[in-house]
Amino acid sequence: MARNPQRRQAKAIRRKRLLAERRRLGAAGAKGSLERPHSEGEDADVEGAYDPAVAPDPAHWLALGEEERLDLALGYHRRAGIFPPSESMHAAIHVGIENQIALGDELPVRQAVDRLMGEGLDRHEAVHAVGSVLTDQLVEAMKDPEAKAISQEAYNAAIEELTVERWLRDHANEDNED
């Protein structure tokens, strides 16, 4: 059976990120720092826990308050031993993308996550890929002093055009930037 080249490339990027983090922290401080300290199913033992590998129930997710959603996303990453440079921003992007997924077909986000998973990403990586589009759109809007919001049409188009190959190409070098 032929292996999926995008999945292989995604795994290579994760290994590269782990090695970069180990170099940043030093050999003694990084051992296992980005590795998950428990099995994939253990989050189910934490009542109401968020796990980006599993889509939350849309009605339940949307019934939560925004602070609760942020706390759940922060809690997942802390339990998993994942400490991005800006925990709160990282959690906010997760929450924003999960909110959009929960809206169903109102936006192209759910279909994009499904498509990216079909191209070889796991769900967490697919959420990150879509989150990178949202982040890029926000950054571009902040550069324009006349912009009052991001263009929904431009955002939707960028989401629909997103591929694993494009995401890996555009974001593969982020680990080398300090």
For 114-159, the pLDDT digits (tens) are: 999 999 999 999 999 999 999 999 998 889 888 888 889 999 999 9
- Measure the CA–CA gap between 88 and 74, rounded to whole angstroms: 7
For residue 43, the model assigns a pLDDT of: 40
The reply to whether the predicted model has a pTM over 0.75 is no
Contact between residue 19 and residue 11 where contact means Cβ atoms under 8 Å apart: no
For residue 172, the model assigns a pLDDT of: 65
- Measure the CA–CA gap between 89 and 67, rounded to whole angstroms: 13
For residue 147, the model assigns a pLDDT of: 81
- Measure the CA–CA gap between 13 and 94, rounded to whole angstroms: 20
For residue 112, the model assigns a pLDDT of: 97
For residue 49, the model assigns a pLDDT of: 87
Range of the domain at 100: 5-176
| Torsion sign across C-alpha atoms 86, 89, 91, 94 | negative
For residue 34, the model assigns a pLDDT of: 32
For residue 104, the model assigns a pLDDT of: 94
Q: Please count the structural domains in the chain.
A: 1
Low-confidence ranges of the chain (pLDDT < 70): 1-48, 172-178
For residue 8, the model assigns a pLDDT of: 55
